[in-house]
Amino acid sequence: MVHPAADTVRKGVEDVLAENGDKQGENFQLTFLSA
């Protein structure tokens, strides 16, 4: 179950990835969601 705050951060990360296409950012997202 995803906490609302975590979902907001995840959405923010997705927006950054959409802008930058940053592979490092994608790795960060995977790490964050696994925590």
CA distance 24 to 7: 19
pLDDT of residue 34: 64
- The pTM assigned to this predicted structure is 0.38
pLDDT tens digits for range 14-35: 887 777 665 666 676 677 766 5
Residues 22-35 as b or e (16 or more Cβ within 10 Å = b):
eeebeeebeeeeee
pLDDT of residue 31: 72
Q: Tokens 């997202």 sit at which residue?
A: 29
